[in-house]
Amino acid sequence: MRIGILSDTHDQLDRTLAAVEILRTAGAEVLVHCGDLIETNIVAACAVLPCYFVFGNNDCDMVPFLKQSAVDAGVTCLGWGGVFDLAGKRIGVVHGHLTADVRRVLQDRPDYLLSGHSHVAHDYREGAVRHINPGALYRAREFSVAMLDLETDLLQFLPVPR
């Protein structure tokens, strides 16, 4: 199972559509958005595949609208952070701006913790948890997304054109 990971799209619809197409072409079967969507059109753009998303610090005013968009598009909103199971792995997702959310999700012992907020891609292990930030599609030196193969544990960062 291959999951496409994106974050911090900040209502950059054209760039988000390009990123989703890059992930689909690379074989993504599921998308995970790590927050700061800003507008409901980003939910719709990600709904071309099964999708999970969380809220980010810039989504506060849009929470009710993003929740409704999730229902309308048939995708899963994990609120301010949550864990779901996929291909025998536990996937934790937070935006990363609130330590309390990170701690709460880590208590569920995910195999992976996907996050955003910093606009900087990273990949490291802390104990049994692999922490992945795909980078950002807004206010980043280079725009990027990530592809994670849950069977092989292979992670690729994919550039997204400006």
Between 77-81, 96-100, 142-146, the lowest mean confidence (pLDDT) is in 96-100
Q: Alpha helix (H) ranges present in 56-111?
A: 63-73, 99-106
Position 98 scores a pLDDT of 82
pLDDT band, residue 116 (cuts 50/70/90): very high
45-69 average pLDDT score: 96
- In order of 12, 111, 130, 131, 160, the CA distances from 127 in angstroms are 35, 10, 8, 10, 31
Position 48 scores a pLDDT of 97
Strands (E), 7-143: 30-33, 51-53, 76-77, 82-86, 89-93, 112-114, 122-126, 129-133
The enclosing H or E element of 15 equals: helix 13-25
Does the model's pTM come out above 0.75? yes
Instruction: Name all domains of the chain by residue range, CATH numbers in brackets.
Output: 2-152 (3.60.21.10)
C-alpha torsion 85→87→90→94, nearest 10:
-80
Q: Is pLDDT above 90 for 162?
A: no
pLDDT band, residue 29 (cuts 50/70/90): very high
pLDDT in tens, 92-115: 999 998 888 999 999 999 999 999
Position 121 scores a pLDDT of 97
Q: Is pLDDT above 90 for 18?
A: yes
58-87 average pLDDT score: 96
Position 1 scores a pLDDT of 96
Mean pLDDT (the chain, rounded):
96
Q: Is pLDDT above 90 for 68?
A: yes
Position 106 scores a pLDDT of 95
pLDDT in tens, 150-160: 999 999 999 99
